[in-house]
Structure 1
Amino acid sequence: MRPNWDEYFMAMAVLASTRASCKHVRAGAVIVLDKRIIGTGYNGAPVGVKDNCLDVGCNKENKGMNYREAFNVGKCIGVHAEMNALANLSREIHKGATLYITIFPCPTCAKNLLAYNIKKVIYKREYDSEESELSMALFKEAGVEVEQLDLSSEKIKEILFNQDSVDFDLFAGEEKKPL
């Protein structure tokens, strides 16, 4: 099965999320311009910080806080996937680019995305509905197009591993026919 462009780029965002170093949330992001990836990111410790949640535990929990009850209290050392994708933008012009993100951006990330002139956000799922409302309002006011892409894990597996139209499948146990 050959995925459409949105499915392809969201699958890439899902793949990026596998590098996340937060023990609670795995998020991945891909920034696309003219059907070319110009930036990717995942959530985790900032560049240069060796200690991350997977190695030393959640900074919030280490300070006695409940992760779910400690949103936006300034105790998390993690950088969100969107911000890492922006930081990792290739030097190409990004004005008008599309962001593919596995989890809908929080208000802080939404504000930063607006500063980079991102014109479309395609997300897989929502994280926190109250924060999503504020982000959505910011995007709407700035004229950013927002779309949710329903891409199930079954569909991702089909995209990755069901390539019947290909003579030689990289993931098959054996060749389909001699080359």
Structure 2
Amino acid sequence: MDKKLENRCSWQEYFMRLCETVAERGTCDRAYVGAIIVNSENRIVSTGYNGSISGDKHCSEVGHEMRDGHCIRTIHAEQNALYYCAKEGISVKDCSIYVTHFPCLNCTKAIIQSGIKHIYYRTGYRIDEYAIKLLQSSNVLYTKL
């Protein structure tokens, strides 16, 4: 076997490394999270990171807008990636999503509802038991890398 191919990283590791780079674009320092949506042909269809809505001030510029212990100025990385697809008319049915952190409950619901079939994540941050239950009942796979 070709030595170069032996050292080649897997698709999962490749996308997770890219996801970590996407997270570096984040503008809310409470959590740098990146998300990448990938289709069945291993093509990236969307990326997202934690940040404000388009045209609004960023946490990095004006600080956090806190409510109930959460920064409400920020859109989560998964939401940003999904909203871009919705805006552009890109189907995510049967896609996979790579996320640096396990999705929150609301992002989990959005992922399930959008038709994504597999979540890959690096960090198990605040994993919600109900999110796990929803994923299992919806037959959405989740894998820690």
For this structure pair, what is the TM-score category when the shorter chain's length is used for normalisation? 0.7 to 0.9
Partner of 1:139: 135
Count of residue correspondences = 136
Identity of aligned residues (%): 33
Match of 1:37 among 29, 44, 57: 44
Compute the displacement of 1:93 (Å): 3.1
**In structure 2, C-alpha distance between the alignment counterparts of 1:93 and 1:111, rounded to whole Å:** 17
**In structure 1, C-alpha distance between the alignment counterparts of 2:80 and 2:64, rounded to whole Å:** 19
**In structure 2, C-alpha distance between the alignment counterparts of 1:122 and 1:7, rounded to whole Å:** 10
**In structure 2, C-alpha distance between the alignment counterparts of 1:135 and 1:20, rounded to whole Å:** 24
**In structure 2, C-alpha distance between the alignment counterparts of 1:41 and 1:57, rounded to whole Å:** 20
Compute the displacement of 1:27 (Å): 0.1
**In structure 2, C-alpha distance between the alignment counterparts of 1:113 and 1:102, rounded to whole Å:** 15
- Partner of 1:88, secondary structure, is helix
- Partner of 1:95, secondary structure, is coil
The CA RMSD measured in Å over matched residues stands at: 1.6
Q: What one-letter code is carried by the residue in structure 2 that aligns with 1:40?
A: T
Q: What one-letter code is carried by the residue in structure 2 that aligns with 1:142?
A: S
Q: TM-score, normalised by structure 2?
A: 0.87
Compared with structure 1, are the counterparts of its residues 92 and 59 closer, same or farther at alpha carbon in structure 2 (3 Å cutoff)? closer
Q: What one-letter code is carried by the residue in structure 2 that aligns with 1:140?
A: Q
Partner deviation per Cα, 1:18-37 (whole Å, 9 max, x = no partner): 00000210000000012110
Compute the displacement of 1:91 (Å): 4.0
Q: Where do 5+ consecutive residues of structure 1 fail to align?
A: 150-179
Compute the displacement of 1:8 (Å): 0.4
Q: Where do 5+ consecutive residues of structure 2 fail to align?
A: 1-6
Q: TM-score, normalised by structure 1?
A: 0.71
**In structure 1, C-alpha distance between the alignment counterparts of 2:84 and 2:21, rounded to whole Å:** 16
Query: Higher strand proportion, which one?
Result: 2
